[in-house]
Chains A and B, each alone.
Chain A
Amino acid sequence: MLGFTLSRLVRIPAIALGVLTVIFFIFKAVPGDEATLMAGATASQADIERLRGQLGLDKPVVEQYATRVVGILRGDFGYSSTFRGNPLPHILARVPATLALMACAIGLTILVGLPAGVLAAVYQNRWPDYLLSFLVVGLLAVPNFWLGLMLIVAFSVQLGWLPSFGFTGWSSLVMPTLALAARLIALVARMTRGVMLEELRKDYVRTAYAKGLDARLVIVRHVLRNALIPTVTVIGLQMGYLLGGSVVVERIFAWPGIGDLMVNAVGARDHTLVQAITLLFVVGFLLINLAVELLYQVINPRLRHA
């Protein structure tokens, strides 16, 4: 397992480099003078030229690319006009907020999605099942930013129960987590229900019932364990959604994470910052994928590589 982990870890920088290359050249293709943009409105022509020289923007593109790559290896992500310098420490300072949000979203998904799916399967074709189907379809169609807004209207504006902004404590996590996790909960619940139904039809379950074993024990021991892998699969597949979704959700709730920073960067036309954050999202995504695969192996020893 260690070998597997290491080999995967090693690939991440290579992939990151690839993404960096593609994005770097896409952004360089944009018309407009970068030095003017970065220097800001109050800069004189002399200031712009000075900045251009300082940042090496007058050199050939390939050389700029090489400089950027070397810089990144040293932790310098270039010149961000928002922070007037290397944006990396500022970005990293915001990572915990986003991580907290995502962790809670995943946690909520498992806590709510799994039991919901189980219940729907156990009470198949009765009202809990129909309720779940209805909710699933609804939650999959609803845009998460709208859900967030509706939650704010209901719980903040009308009822005044929950804070609607920033990261101020546990209560401020509730609504953003709900908005972000809704789609995941729907998918996990649906998946769990499906897996449960398949398992419930299997022979060993009927045998267990016949033998008089406590039904619940049977369900918990065998069925849930089998449902775990597809659940992890679904969550893993939706990681992209989770990272992307965090951007809009953070925007709505003024959540001080990197998604919010990215939106500001786009608005301020701070291309360096946009590229840096995109790169970080990619690396994060790859690391999470790796974690998911390792989780697979823990759950299912048969998948372990020798």
Chain B
Amino acid sequence: MDRRTALTLPLLFPFARHALAQAAPGGTITYGQSGGVTAIDPAQGSFATYPAGYEVGYCLYDRLVDFDQNLKFVPQLAERWEVASDLKSVRFHLRRNVRFHDGTAFDAQAVKFNVERMIDKARTPTNRPLWDPLSAVEAVDQYTVVVRTKEPYSAILNSFAHGSGSQVSPAAVQKHGEKGIAHSPVGAGPYRLESFTPGQEVVLTAFDGYWGGKPATSRLVFKYILEAATRVAALRTGSVDVIDSVPVQLIAGLRREPNIEVITRPGLRPMGLTINLSRPPYDDVRVRRALNHAVPVQAIAEKVFFGFARQSDSPLAFNTQGYHKVGTYAYSPEKAKALLAEAGFKPGGKTLKMVLLASDGLFPGDLSIAEICARAFQQVGIDVTINKIERGSYWDEIRKDRAALTFDLAMFGFNPSNASGLYHLESLFKSNVDDAGRPTVWNFGRYRNPKVDQLLAQANVTSDAAKQAAIMAEVQKIVWDDAPYVWLHVNENATAVRKGVKGVELWPIVFTIPRRATVAA
């Protein structure tokens, strides 16, 4: 065989596989994801990359508790549960006759194994705020488990509904090892792993022995397609059936297509510019409020995102658990200048300098937002330098030790993937254990307010939902007024599917879940 044929022959294999896939009974749904999947394990690697890995995880694994489309708790592997009134323990009653993909039984021992794995920092270095509060887990009998926490912890169910609460087969972990399980995942969900090319493709097939009945769709294929235009093109030609992260400027065009349906939902991720409070004069609240008045947030939401974004009126997103509307910082360059003058920055006098960190492709429209904000700040007399950081190194850049920080403002958006507003507030606004070192969670602006800390601690131990909401409302008001961020907007998430594909869920926490989807033959 000549060289040309030899070179091209291997290229035919993917086409063959594609053809076979189309022939599977029950159909195949192909999902073009904006991120690549490199690890499918709640612990090590924690469903990298975010959110793609989670989306696969939600189809392959089951958890004790699940979210419905409105982020309310529903039973999954636990039939029912009782949360103790002191919020220090919860008793789960497990479903019977559930098997993992490898045939082993799901029972209290399995749950104990998984929870201990999550509590163990060495095996689960990520998602610590969700699991650190837990102290012990006890298998009372074969189908009953009690989980205890160190302090009263009201968001305990959120931890179990979160992706990291996925139940992994202990036998599989023994077999493949702690690290190996990420590439050979074995769960109890409706789909099992067929093949996995890390960073490129995951193929799942329907699991016959699923406790909820074999799912209608035979195969789920997850493909990594980085470029948005590419994803959209793939959807148009039909080589994928579902895509996530549809760029807002393309939504109108896609909606005009007869074969395509666009689903949008307000997200849970409020965008903002984190202010580095460890660098004067950004520790002066007048300066921070001035910054908030300087940016035309409404115009950004309407024009840059074509209306698919909404100006924030709280540090939390609109449908986060515990959201409370606080207010707006009106767009007023005059007011901004006045506040800056009060703080000592008058025209002709001292100039305020700013280094603004912008990511490139990490958040929707991030560069455009950065350029607009920079210009807005310039128009109130601030000398702005934009520092663009590639998406791959952005997290490293913002989470440095205080002395090593390189910015005054940095673009950021946090997505509380357990939907809990309390979790969101704690991650961003609870004082760091050590301001000089790395931030405990995401408080890399070094915000410190003892009143907020006290209120958050209180909210954690309050079992009365109304009281908790009131406390959280107060926290949001304080934080909003303190302005440790330049508050921006909340994006709508957009997913697109081909007509005939039904049941794809778009959760506010940015995940697109094809777990219960079906495709017309």
Contact surface of A with B, Cβ cutoff 8 Å: 36-37, 40-45, 47, 82-84, 90, 96, 99-100, 103, 156, 163-169, 254, 256, 264, 266-270
Contacts and interface: CB of A to CB of B under 8 A. Distances in A.
Nearest to A94: B200
Which of A83, A166, A266 has the most C-beta atoms of chain B within 10 angstroms of its own C-beta? A166
Interface string B382-395: 00000000111101
Interface stretch (B98-106, B136-144, B154-162, B231-239): B231-239
B396 A100 contact: no
Contacts of B437: 45
Contact of A41 (B15, B234, B396): B396
Nearest to A38: B396
Given A103-B4, A169-B15, A268-B390, 9 more contacts: A40-B396, A41-B398, A44-B438, A83-B38, A83-B199, A164-B230, A165-B233, A267-B360, A269-B390
Nearest to A90: B199
B335 interface: no
B399 interface: yes
A156 B233 contact: yes
Given A41-B399, A45-B438, A267-B390, A100 B227 contact: no
Nearest to A260: B226
Q: List the 5 shortest-distance A-B pairs measured between CB atoms, nearest first.
A: A268-B392, A41-B395, A165-B230, A267-B390, A254-B227
Nearest to B128: A42
B126 interface: yes
A96 B396 contact: no
Interface string B96-133: 00000000000000000000000000000110000000
B70 interface: no
Contact of A254 (B125, B225, B391, B396): B225
B11 A100 contact: yes
Interface string B1-20: 00010011011001100000
A114 B126 CA distance: 59
B392 A168 contact: no
A166 B240 CA distance: 13
Nearest to B391: A267
A47 B8 CA distance: 44
A253 to B, nearest CB: 8
A268 B390 CA distance: 7
A99 B227 contact: no
B269 to A, nearest CB: 17
B226 A254 contact: yes
B330 interface: no
18 contacts: A37-B393, A40-B396, A41-B395, A41-B398, A41-B399, A42-B126, A45-B437, A83-B199, A90-B199, A100-B7, A156-B233, A165-B227, A165-B233, A167-B11, A254-B226, A254-B230, A268-B391, A268-B393
Contact of A44 (B7, B125, B225): B125
B414 to A, nearest CB: 13
Contacts, number: 73
Contacts of A165: 225, 227, 229-230, 233-234
Interface of B: 4, 7-8, 10-11, 14-15, 38, 125-126, 198-200, 225-227, 229-230, 233-234, 237, 239, 360, 390-393, 395-396, 398-399, 437-438
Contacts of B438: 44-45
A83 B198 CA distance: 9
Given A42-B125, A165-B225, A267 B393 contact: yes
Contact of B392 (A44, A47, A156, A267): A267
Contacts of B239: 168
Which of A41, A82, A96, A256 has the most C-beta atoms of chain B within 10 angstroms of its own C-beta? A41
A256 B399 CA distance: 31
B197 to A, nearest CB: 8
Contact of B396 (A36, A169, A267): A36
Contact of B7 (A90, A103, A163, A167): A103
A64 B200 CA distance: 32
B513 to A, nearest CB: 24
A20 B237 CA distance: 44
B229 A47 contact: no
B225 A96 contact: no
Which of B38, B230, B239, B396 has the most C-beta atoms of chain A within 10 angstroms of its own C-beta? B396
Given A44-B125, A99-B7, A165-B225, A270 B230 contact: no
A168 B236 CA distance: 14
B231 to A, nearest CB: 8
B108 to A, nearest CB: 31
A44 B10 CA distance: 43
A166 B38 CA distance: 19
B237 A269 contact: no
Given A36-B396, A165-B233, A267-B390, A100 B15 contact: no
B47 to A, nearest CB: 13
Nearest to B239: A168
A264 B10 contact: no
A177 to B, nearest CB: 13
A256 B225 CA distance: 10
Contacts of A83: 38, 198-199
A228 B68 CA distance: 68
Contacts of A264: 392
B199 to A, nearest CB: 7
Contacts of B390: 266-269
A226 B316 CA distance: 74
Contacts of B398: 41
B396 A166 contact: no
A83 B396 CA distance: 17
A269 B393 contact: yes
A198 to B, nearest CB: 32
Contacts of B10: 96
A169 B13 CA distance: 11
Contacts of B234: 163, 165-166
Nearest to A171: B237
A305 B11 CA distance: 37
A164 B232 CA distance: 10
Contacts of B11: 96, 100, 167
A64 to B, nearest CB: 21
Contacts of A169: 15
A118 to B, nearest CB: 23
B233 A164 contact: yes
Contacts of B198: 83
Contact of A166 (B7, B230, B399): B230
A90 B8 CA distance: 19
A41 B438 CA distance: 10
A40 B4 contact: no
B123 to A, nearest CB: 13
A47 B128 CA distance: 15
A94 B266 CA distance: 37
B8 A100 contact: yes
Given A103-B7, A269-B392, A43 B125 contact: yes
A135 B424 CA distance: 59
Contacts of A156: 233
B20 to A, nearest CB: 15
